[in-house]
């Protein structure tokens, strides 16, 4: 039969976990009424600057993602690094700054760059909220936090490497 009843494409356990975490995340990330927050889209409206894998383009993109994630830019620094054999840490605390390492090899696609930065900023927001970083579900929680912050389209459209704890 061609037309059948629609089914959710995730299993029951994952759906229940998402339902349990959603309200908690909205509260912990201090998002208030989500209907007042935008869904960030990969359009010129949200990212009007032309993309090129240059430091200027990356810094401009970084500034927009930081703004949209509602993180104080004064406490952040983007660190462009060469490709590592091992995955670099998601964030590095250095004095009063938080460094966000981004491998130069990841700069080919701006969608991937936004997804990676959004995931790192989601982790930072979760850390600021006092999240236990030893949670087994931390990678999933970071992905769900990206959706709450409005970046779900980017994470769905990009192959994002898992950010280490």
Q: How far apart are CA 143 and CA 139, in angstroms?
A: 6
Comparing C-alpha atoms, which of 136, 164, 162 is closest to residue 17? 136
Gap between the Cα atoms of 23 and 34, Å rounded: 10
Is the predicted pLDDT of residue 160 greater than 70, yes or no?
A: no
> Greater confidence, 87 or 139?
139
**Rounded mean pLDDT of 6-10?**
68
pLDDT of residue 159: 56
Q: Using alpha carbons only, how large is the chain's radius of gyration in Å?
A: 17
pLDDT (0 to 100) of residue 165: 43
Tens digits of residue pLDDT in 72-120: 999 999 988 888 777 777 888 888 899 898 888 888 889 989 999 999 9
């Amino acid at each position: 039969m061609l037309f059948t009843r629609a089914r959710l494409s995730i299993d029951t356990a994952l759906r229940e976990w998402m339902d349990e975490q959603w309200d908690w995340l909205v509260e912990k990330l201090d998002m208030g009424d989500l209907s007042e927050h935008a869904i960030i889209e990969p359009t010129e409206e949200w990212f009007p600057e032309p993309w090129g894998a240059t430091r200027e383009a990356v810094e401009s993109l970084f500034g927009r993602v930081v703004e949209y994630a509602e993180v104080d830019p004064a406490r952040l620094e983007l660190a462009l690094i060469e490709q590592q054999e091992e995955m670099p840490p998601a964030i590095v605390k250095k004095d009063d700054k938080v460094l966000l390492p981004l491998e130069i090899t990841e700069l080919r696609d701006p969608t991937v760059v936004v997804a990676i930065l959004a995931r790192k900023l989601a982790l930072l927001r979760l850390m600021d909220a006092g999240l236990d970083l030893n949670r087994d579900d931390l990678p999933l929680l970071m992905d769900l936090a990206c959706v709450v912050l409005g970046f779900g389209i980017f994470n769905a459209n990009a192959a994002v490497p898992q950010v280490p704890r």
